[in-house]
């Protein structure tokens, strides 16, 4: 794995591809883009939009060897920092997708809390490198900063494996799952600083 560093514009293509590959078959991604051929191009564009948001307004960490990356957004005063950019970028990623606004509505309500916090939008580890502590290592820089600043953190786990990882790092299920219409569920999780 090597070290972990903050990603920059030169990492955009590689990190965008890693995010796409890691989430392409995720239950939520399959719900958003049920047709596989459409998912192949629209999903890549959507996760590149998330990455662009992180690079412009948040924090993106990547392993030196490119095996993992984490994209964090900031929530201030109940809104994502750079929210207008994100809305424009996600609309451009897949114009006309009716499920994307529904997902944004369901998950956006979770961020209306008036407490400033860090939001883990995505964490990805190459399939052949999972289970080796890379995900944990990618969480540490921002969670350490959250602890230092006394700032909570939030995320939505999209599968039981990721939920277990987050629980090991102090995240707690908020108690109400997000149920996508005719689709999977997501588990909102909150972490108080320690």
| C-alpha–C-alpha distance, residues 92 and 114, integer Å | 29
Provide the CA 1 distance to its chain's centre, in angstroms.
Answer: 21
Name the residue among 127, 160, 157, 153 with its Cα closest to residue 139.
153
- Compute the average pLDDT of residues 88-105: 81
- Residue of 137 and 82 predicted with greater confidence: 137
- Compute the average pLDDT of residues 56-81: 91
Give me the CATH topology for the region 4-155: Aminopeptidase (3.40.630)
pTM of the model: 0.92
DSSP per position, 31-53: HH--SHHHHHHHHHHHHHHHHHH
pLDDT at 76: 87
Residues 39/33, Cβ–Cβ less than 8 Å: yes
Backbone angles phi, psi at 8, to 5 degrees: -130, -175
């Amino acid at each position: 794995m090597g070290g972990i560093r903050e990603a920059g514009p030169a990492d955009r293509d590689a990190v965008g591809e890693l995010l796409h590959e890691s989430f392409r078959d995720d239950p939520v991604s399959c719900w958003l883009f049920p047709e596989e051929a459409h998912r192949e191009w629209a999903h890549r564009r959507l996760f590149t939009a998330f990455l662009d948001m992180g690079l412009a307004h948040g924090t993106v960490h990547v392993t030196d060897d490119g095996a993992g990356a984490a994209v964090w957004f900031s929530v201030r005063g109940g809104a994502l920092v750079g929210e207008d950019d994100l809305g424009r970028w996600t609309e451009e990623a897949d114009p006309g997708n009716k499920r994307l606004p529904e997902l944004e509505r369901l998950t956006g309500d979770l961020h209306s809390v008036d407490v400033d916090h860090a939001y883990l939008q995505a964490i990805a580890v190459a399939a052949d490198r999972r289970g080796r502590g890379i995900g944990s290592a990618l969480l540490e820089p921002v969670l350490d900063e959250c602890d230092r600043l006394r700032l909570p953190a939030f995320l939505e786990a999209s599968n039981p494996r990721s939920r277990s990882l987050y629980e090991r790092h102090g995240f707690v299920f908020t108690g109400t799952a997000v149920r996508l219409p005719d689709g999977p569920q997501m588990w909102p999780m909150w972490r108080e600083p320690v």
